[in-house]
């Protein structure tokens, strides 16, 4: 009679069932996740998790006990080296069952069973979601304002970064214009300094020549004026004589 035997026999004899679970446990330890039916995954969970707990204490006794279940020395060494390095701090619940739908043909319920600590993407997403829930419960308006202020600070910093290069380019252009103006002013200042003595020297003889020309022209003008006056006097005298004769 099978009174009290409430575990799932999986339609197999005891020897077949133990061999199957041992092989599935070795595959799970080696590949970190396997696809199987939900019924087999639940039985595998009961089979492999006590072995993982044993592997936390690395002793000859525990290794021999684990080997008596797995019958595979490579799986035992993998369990005591790599798996325990990530699982050591976890108090239990080393595996996770994720349902993947029904199988075509017999419509059996399928799932994926994996070691929790080796799925980094899933654990990171859960950690992020937990943090967001905590902020919603305990946050209120203050914690909601914090990200808004952070975003505003990011926008301001980006705006400052965009303005800074523009200001730098403007200052560089102003500096270049100032430098060009300074060079032009320096050239214009240098040119008169070099030319002023020459101009002064050239202007002096010109002034002397003008003065000489004036001095030379004055006696000639005086003579001409005197001659014109004499002619006018002569004409007057001649006209007066003619009037007397008449």
Per residue in 1-11, pLDDT tens? Answer: 889 988 899 99
User: Is residue 126 very low, low, confident or very high in pLDDT (cuts 50, 70, 90)?
Assistant: low
Domain that holds residue 74: 14-120
pLDDT at 64 over 90: yes
For 101, phi and psi rounded to 5 degrees?
A: 105, -170
Mean predicted confidence (pLDDT) in 124-133: 61
Q: Which whole-number Å values give the CA distances from 96 to 13, 38, 113, in the listed order?
A: 27, 11, 6
Within a domain: 30: yes
Higher pLDDT pick, 26 / 133: 26
pLDDT for the residue numbered 194: 46
In a domain, 96, yes or no: yes
- Tell me whether residue 107 is in a domain: yes
Instruction: Report yes or no on 66 lying in a domain.
Output: yes
pLDDT of 193 above 70: no
- Residue 227: which pLDDT band, with cuts at 50, 70 and 90? confident
CA distances 192 to 181, 188, 205, 210, Å, are 17, 7, 20, 25
User: pLDDT of 80-121, one tens digit each?
Assistant: 999 999 888 889 999 999 999 999 999 999 999 999 988 877
The encoded tokens of residue 25 equal 């446990």
- Residue 137 in any domain: the answer is no
Count how many Cα atoms sit within 13 Å of the Cα of residue 51 in the half-sphere of its side chain: 29
Residue 27 pLDDT class (50, 70, 90 cuts): very high
State percent of the chain over pLDDT 90: 42
DSSP of 46-112, one letter per residue? HHHHHHHHHTTS--HHHHHHHHHHH--HHHHHHIIIIIHHHHTT--S--EEEEEEEEPTTT-PEEEE
| Pairwise pLDDT comparison (196 vs 231), residue with the higher score | 231
Whether residue 22 lies inside any domain: the answer is: yes
Instruction: Identify the CATH number of the domain in which residue 108 sits.
Output: 3.90.1030.10
Residue 134 in domain = no
Rounded CA separation 134/130 (Å): 6
- Using alpha carbons, list the distances in angstroms from residue 103 to 11, 43, 80, 137: 18, 19, 34, 41
- The total of structural domains in the chain comes to 1
User: Is 114 inside any structural domain?
Assistant: yes
């Amino acid at each position: 009679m099978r009174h009290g035997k409430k575990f799932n026999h999986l339609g197999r004899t005891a020897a077949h069932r133990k061999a199957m679970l041992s092989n599935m446990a070795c595959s799970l330890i080696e590949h970190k996740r396997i696809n199987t039916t939900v019924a087999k995954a639940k039985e595998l969970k009961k089979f492999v998790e006590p072995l993982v707990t044993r592997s936390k204490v690395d002793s000859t006794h525990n290794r021999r006990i684990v080997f008596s279940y797995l019958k595979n020395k490579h799986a035992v060494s993998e369990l005591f080296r790599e798996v325990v390095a990530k699982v050591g701090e976890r108090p239990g619940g080393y595996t996770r069952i994720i349902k993947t739908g029904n199988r075509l043909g017999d419509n059996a319920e399928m799932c994926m069973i994996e070691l929790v600590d080796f799925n980094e993407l899933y654990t990171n997403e859960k950690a992020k979601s937990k943090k967001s829930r905590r902020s919603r419960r305990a946050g209120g308006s203050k914690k909601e304002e914090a990200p808004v202020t952070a975003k505003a600070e990011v926008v301001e910093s980006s705006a400052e970064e965009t303005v800074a290069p523009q200001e730098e380019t403007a200052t560089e252009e102003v500096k270049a214009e100032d430098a060009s103006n300074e060079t032009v002013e320096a050239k214009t200042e240098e040119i008169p300094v070099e030319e002023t003595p020459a101009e002064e020297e050239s202007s002096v003889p010109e002034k002397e020549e003008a003065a000489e020309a004036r001095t030379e022209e004055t006696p000639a003008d005086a003579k001409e004026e005197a001659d014109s006056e004499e002619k006018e006097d002569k004409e007057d005298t001649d006209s007066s004589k003619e009037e007397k004769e008449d």
